[in-house]
Amino acid sequence: MSAERGGSIYATYIKDQLSDQNSRKDSIEKRGIAVITTSGTLASLLFGLAAVLTGVQHYHLPAAAESWLFAAMIAFVVGAIGGIATNLPLFYIGVRPSELQGAVKNRWRDSVEDAEQRVAATQVKVLGRAKMLNTIKGFVLLGAISAEVAAVIFLSVAIGIVLHG
């Protein structure tokens, strides 16, 4: 039977989990930027369509289409705001340099097991906070994408009314 303990296995697992959360954060933020970009592009097309239609002499936008266009504009704005919100620098936690200095000064001669346990406990604390904040950002991203999908639907209905109205 081996005298080894599971500490190194747990330490590696915790480190991997923390790395996964950092990757998840980056992924959510990149997708948030994509929502901002597509919302901006589609909103620009919406306003371009409105400019073309209102610039035509004697053209009157059907009243039914106006409310759908307005709803699309609001939904694009909500989607863009959600995309921006996914990139807010929330209060992620990390280890302060003073804490590391204290460890170097006061704990340098700790046993391997004690050091692994202290590091793992700190990483679990950081992981818990990262996971919670990433979940919040994920829900914000889901809302932003949902708003963008709604905006595309509203815009499609408006265009359908204009074309067939």
For residue 44, the tally of other CB atoms under 10 A from its CB is 11
CB 5 within 8 Å of CB 113: yes
* 165 pLDDT higher than 50: yes
pTM for the whole structure: 0.78
SS3 for 19-60, per residue? Answer: HHHHHHHHHHHHHHHHHHHHHHHHHHHHHHHHHHHHHCCCCC
Q: What is the pLDDT of residues 64-76, one digit of tens each?
A: 888 998 999 899 9
Total residue length of the chain: 165
